[in-house]
A and B are shown apart, each in its own frame.
Chain A
Amino acid sequence: MDLLQFARGPALTWAFAIFVFGMTWRLVGILLLKRRPDYSEPRNTASWTGAIKLIITRSWPHREFRKRTIFGLSVGYIFHIGLAIVVFGFAPHIMFIRSLTGLDWPNLPNAVIYISGAITIAALIIVMGRRLTNPVMRLISNFDDYFSWFVTITPVVTGMLAVAHLGARYETLLAIHILSIALLLVWFPFGKLMHSALIFISRGTTGALFERKGASI
């Protein structure tokens, strides 16, 4: 068995198992938690509208803080969008997802992917630079922040190296790329990357509560 066979075979199987197990464990564990009973008279009964509203409004900088947060927020948006384009627009990735789920959609031209990949890497480096240079950010950062950043940027870098055939043979680079995705999947449910699912749950819950209480969102 060569490295690519190992990556496409047992490494991915284990990564999927750990990822799915971790995700369902954490999500089910959180969703089944007991809610504190609320005896107050609800101002609005359809609280789900508040949930959706807050998910949207909190995704945008608050007017008062706009000046201070706009930079970090923009860079954050750039790499999230860049990642989405690379993950869901690149033909080999669609083939990968299709082989697992049966879903299929048209791919973007490779040039778009390469540019998005490069921008994503640049944006990820900038956010890490900020984290390292800003004393407050440094103080509140822990291993989870650094490692989550590492497992996010590594697949993008290894993927770019693989398509450019840079640094090693293509089969080795492709294997390393797949292994880096396996690492991402394994870490995903247990670190801060879990925010990609939990952000909607926490914002939704807060929004629903606000709506019920009649607070402005």
Chain B
Amino acid sequence: MNEPDTLGASLTRSGVSRRSFLKFCTAMASLMALPPSAAYAMADALNRAQRQSVIWLSFQECTGCVESLTRSFDPTLEQMIFEMISLDYQETLQAASGEAAELARKQAMKSSYGKYVLIVDGSIPTKDGGVYSTIAGISNYDMLVETAKGAAAIVAVGTCSAYGGIPHANPNPTGAVAVSDIIKDKPIMNVPGCPPIPSVIAGVLAYFVTYGKLPELDHIGRPKVFFADTIHDRCYRRPFYDQGKFAKTFDDEGARNGWCLYELGCKGPTTYNACATIKWNGGISFPIESGHGCLGCSEPNFWDKGSFYQPLPTPLADNAPVIAAATLGGIAVGTVAAVVSRKHQADISTKEEK
């Protein structure tokens, strides 16, 4: 096949109609708050674009991120992502195994050197020479460093590759770190979430293919288009928060009336993600709509910020022993102070008597 592997050609080959392609572009443009004209520009650019070569490395992870993407309940979305990219290496999805798989990675690296996008999910163990997770006998650390060399950009998908995630949680037995802790000389975009919303992954890929660069990022590397607002900023229960109406248990009257879940531990006010606007499962709902507070899954260290059911403004540590010890200490010092002063008083009175 001599024709260049453009996205347009590949879409035609797989029978995706222009109508659903435009629908996808419009949806992506509106998700990223781009002007309406951008949808056509995006369609045009994507149509002519070469399919983006992507190498996807999975390290210490649960495959939830890939599950999220491939079970997005939105066949168009899933199809578009896989049409948009040429997924040259992905351990879960590829047919090849063993040496053939490694060869595929090497080949993809060689043929698109400097141009491929490297997607990473999962954290990278660094303790004991990185032995806790290896692929084909190569440690995750070495594979990341080697593959990152030829990448045009890196997308860290999921909280584990973005910030260390669950493997990084205290006491972090494998010394797990994020991609950005290791790779310093490449543009890195974090798409955190446990897992991330599929349309967000699709959106940022569409952006990269259309504009040839990463979108604007926030201070911890997340695309601002999706991570500028907190869940709380966009939460439909917000009016109840503002009125001070809180559900106290998961099945009390407040919960049935859809009151705010702050008291039940909702981390929405400190969590930047697009769940409240884009929602999950093709826009059906999101966790808070199902009656459970936000866990803060798109934030660094979300696993180490106290119980998921502990309200945000409460102390993290169990302070009772410290308070008890401080009380005893205070009583002791106060008693000593009183004894000293009594003695002082007595001395003065005896002096006066004399």
Contacts and interface: CB of A to CB of B under 8 A. Distances in A.
Chain B associates with chain A: yes
Interface of A: 1-2, 4-5, 8-10, 12-13, 16-34, 90-93, 95-96, 99-100, 107-111, 113, 165, 170-171, 174, 178
Contacts of B333: 21, 25, 29
B335 A170 contact: no
Contacts of B325: 17
Q: Which one of B314, B330, B339, B341 has the highest number of Cβ atoms from chain A below 10 Å of its Cβ?
A: B330
A36 to B, nearest CB: 9
B312 A28 contact: no
A107 B339 CA distance: 44
B313 A25 contact: no
Chain B, interface size: which category?
35 or more
Interface string B315-332: 111010011011101110
B342 A110 contact: no
B330 A174 contact: no
B326 A21 contact: yes
A10 B338 CA distance: 31
Nearest to A28: B334
B323 A108 contact: no
A57 to B, nearest CB: 30
Given A29-B338, A91-B246, A5 B326 contact: no
Contacts of A9: 315-317
Given A9-B315, A34-B342, A174-B270, A28 B232 contact: no
Contacts of A19: 326
A92 B262 contact: yes
9 contacts: A2-B300, A2-B301, A8-B306, A28-B338, A95-B313, A95-B314, A110-B241, A170-B270, A174-B269
A110 to B, nearest CB: 4
A119 B241 CA distance: 22
A188 to B, nearest CB: 13
Contact of B244 (A33, A91, A99): A91
A95 B233 CA distance: 21
A73 B306 CA distance: 44
Nearest to B306: A8
A37 to B, nearest CB: 10
A21 B329 contact: yes
Interface of B is mostly: helix
B312 A174 contact: yes
A178 B313 contact: yes
B246 A22 contact: no
B311 A12 contact: no
Contacts of B337: 25, 28-29
Contact of A17 (B233, B262, B322): B322
Contact of B335 (A32, A95, A111): A32
Contacts of A20: 323, 326-327, 330
- Cβ-closest 3 pairs across A and B: A24-B330, A28-B334, A32-B338
Contacts of B52: none
B263 interface: yes
Contacts of B339: 32
B305 A17 contact: no
Contacts of B306: 8
Interface in B331-351: 331, 333-335, 337-339, 341-342, 345-346
Contacts of A31: 338
B331 A24 contact: yes
Nearest to B317: A13
A31 to B, nearest CB: 8
Nearest to A93: B313
A110 B244 contact: yes
B67 interface: no
Contacts of B346: 34
